[in-house]
Amino acid sequence: MPQTVLILDFGGQYTQLIAKRVRKAKVFSQVLPFSASIQQIRSFDPVGIILSGGPASVLQTDAPACSPEIFELGVPVLGICYGMQLISHMLGGKVTAAQKREYGLQKVNVKADNELFKSLPGSLDCWMSHTYQVDRLPEGFRTIAWTANCPVAAMADEKRRLYGLQFHPEVTHTKQGNDIIHAFLYDVCGCEGDWEMTDFARAAVEDIKKAVGEGTVLLGLSGGVDSSVVAALIHRAIGDRLHCVFVDHGFMRQDEPRLVAEIFTRTFPVSLVAVDAAERFMQKLKGVSDPEQKRKIIGAEFVAVFRDEASKLGHLDHFAQGTIYPDVIESGAVPGATVIKSHHNVGGLPKELGFTSLIEPLRMLFKDEVRELGLVLGLPREMVMRQPFPGPGLAIRVIGDLTAQKVELVRLSDAILREEIGITSLDTEINQYFTVLSGIRSVGVMGDERSYDYAVAIRAVTTDDFMTADWARIPYEVLAIISRRIVNEVKGINRVLFDVTTKPPASIEWE
Ligand code: XMP
């Protein structure tokens, strides 16, 4: 058993990011609800405990609190944001409403005379998001960081090895965040870095074996990274008792259905059924222009196609999905998070299909971790490094109602974009890029003729986790080639736009 750091979850939006940072530092971490009992906590024999942030205030009557005995275990504790306020509140300090709410990047002054900050400069840019703050320190603590508005931005009781940070070291905006987490893990908790992605793979394979027993599994294969990695994991666990179904809804990228079938039968000997259901989907989507409606119809039709195919395969016991953590969050499956888009690969599918259990081994991983896992499992790099492609496919990259012609316009322009980006070295720098057929038609001239055709937009983003993103700075010369090729080669498009919006406020996809 590797050394374990427990993360107690107080409902903060960054809890899984904390877990990811800890994994990145090669330390095994386990997220537990804040209400975990002291017996449960002890059973992990943790080398450290992290208390996450959360939306509550310690001053409210039913404020979430952890077992007070964790402070007596002799194990280092790091409280982040709400976690720090809770330490203060539970150990006799005082928390009050801040005079000025701090949100966003703040200059934080730190003392270098402690384990957390000893190798850092005296002033750091840190991500803050808090309405309450520690007003009076509990006994035994001292202030080790402060901002212009927040007198206690970090606190420490070195004797008991208890630490608190009012800012968020786990988000990328806090530049030295990784160093701080690393210092807590290695210098305070004495971690040895004995955990690797291969351990995750081994544990996941064991879990799948246990869950499936002698049974069989149906997996919807999209050809994307997530479902491919799930296929590899389950195949390793149960071999040919895994049955994959690939539904071609008619909204795949150029050549994709053929490639998926080829790569899959070549890479692993999985049983794969490929279904061409393009007609069925198009019928259902006729005249529908609302983005959520489109997603819902595609999701429902997926269920229908799956039901048909599954019944042809005979009885299968379990259903597997390549859901990853951002899907879980964005679908509102976590209490407190609002629905942003109904991702078609999360939701009622298994229940409707009559499966008793759902296997989602990637549910707690971020995209970059899924790729690392894929490589560990021996998947080809070309497959693992593919950019993400949404379940509803090109259907949500044609704004408004769908026709076969519009889908073809986005497919052809997307193929040109991918080809040109692939020629440059930009494809390793840009995390996702595609074209979107805007609903706009505009006037142009082609030879001597007036045209009235569609405008297509290029969307290209750089991002770590797809939860926030910046637009990619594609050089003008490359944009010029792409634009020229699209308007010359794709009949029906006479204008090319470049999307220069970050996420938030825009999302990566347009629908
Ligand atoms: P947004 O548009 O929400 O996209 O900023 C974030 C990432 O998720 C992908 N995406 C989806 N993936 N099913 C998926 O499997 C979906 O319904 C879906 N919608 C968006 C999107 O391509 C981007 O990588």
Do 275 and 246 form a contact (C-beta atoms < 8 A)?
yes
| Confidence at residue 428, expressed as pLDDT on a 0 to 100 scale | 87
Chain-centroid distance, C-alpha 21: 13
- Selected residue with higher pLDDT from 419 and 1: 419
- Ligand 1 centroid to residue 159 C-alpha, Å: 47
- Per-residue CA distances from 359 to 217, 220, 233 (Å): 9, 12, 11
pLDDT exceeds cutoff 90 at 351: no
Q: Which atom of ligand 1 is nearest to the CA of 507?
A: 5
342 or 49, greater pLDDT: 49
Check if 392 has its Cβ closer than 6 Å to any atom of ligand 1. Answer: yes
**Predicted confidence (pLDDT) per residue in 120-176, tens digit:** 999 999 999 889 999 999 999 999 999 999 999 999 999 999 999 999 999 988 999
CA nearest ligand 1 atom 14, residue: 390
* CA nearest ligand 1 atom 19, residue: 390
What CATH number matches the domain at 4-188, 3.40.50.880, 1.10.620.20, 3.30.1360.20, 3.55.40.20? 3.40.50.880
Give which of 325, 435, 337, 322 is closest to 383, Cα–Cα. Answer: 322
- Take residue 130 and report the two structure tokens written for it: 């808090």
Which of 301, 331, 341, 389 most suits a substitution to test ligand 1, by most atoms within 8 Å of the C-beta? Answer: 341
Ligand 1 in reach of 222 Cβ (< 6 A): no
**Does residue 341 register a pLDDT over 80?**
no
pLDDT for 335 equals 40
Is any atom of ligand 1 closer than 6 Å to the C-beta of 341? yes
pLDDT in tens, 254-308: 988 887 788 778 777 888 999 999 999 999 999 999 999 999 999 999 888 988 8
Ligand 1 centre to CA of 343 (Å) is 7
Which residue is closest in CA terms to ligand 1's atom 10? Answer: 390
Here the contacts of 269-273 (C-beta below 8 Å, separation 24 or greater) are 269/240, 270/231, 270/235, 270/240, 270/242, 270/243, 270/244, 271/240, 271/242, 271/243, 271/244, 272/221, 272/244, 272/245, 272/246, 273/243, 273/244, 273/245, 273/246, 273/309, 273/312, 273/313
Ligand 1 mutation pick, 298, 340, 343, max ligand atoms within 8 A of CB: 343
Q: What are the residue ranges spanned by the domains of the chain? A: 4-188, 214-384, 398-498
Least trusted range by pLDDT, from 306-310, 324-328, 383-387, 434-438: 324-328
For ligand 1, is residue 345 a contact (CB within 6 Å)?
yes
**Average pLDDT of span 474-479:** 97
Inform me whether the pLDDT recorded for 334 exceeds 70.
no
CATH architecture of structural domain 398-498: 2-Layer Sandwich (3.30)
The predicted model gives 77-92 an average pLDDT of: 98
Please report the atom of ligand 1 found closest to the CA of residue 226.
Answer: 15
**Averaged pLDDT for residues 180-189:** 98
Same fold, 4-188 and 398-498: no
Q: Please, which pLDDT band fits residue 338 given cuts at 50, 70 and 90? A: very low
**Catalytic residue annotation:** 81, 168, 170
pLDDT of residue 424: 94
Give the per-residue pLDDT at 368.
85
Percent of the chain with pLDDT over 90: 73
Distance 325 CA to ligand 1 centre (A): 12
What span, in angstroms and rounded, lies between the C-alpha atoms of 119 and 125?
15
Tell me the CA–centroid distance for residue 317 and ligand 1, in Å: 28
pLDDT on residue 336: 38
Nearest CA to ligand 1 atom 17: 343
Give the right CATH number for 214-384 from 3.30.70.60, 3.40.630.30, 3.40.50.11240, 3.40.50.620: 3.40.50.620
b or e along 262-283 (b: 16 or more beta carbons within 10 Å of the residue's beta carbon)? ebbeebbebebbbbebbebbbe
Does residue 223 have its Cβ closer than 6 Å to ligand 1?
no
What pLDDT, on a 0 to 100 scale, did the predictor assign at position 234?
Answer: 95
Query: Taking the CA of residue 142 as centre, how many other CA atoms within 13 Å lie in the half-sphere pointing to its CB?
Result: 7
Confidence of residue 213 (pLDDT cuts 50, 70, 90): very high
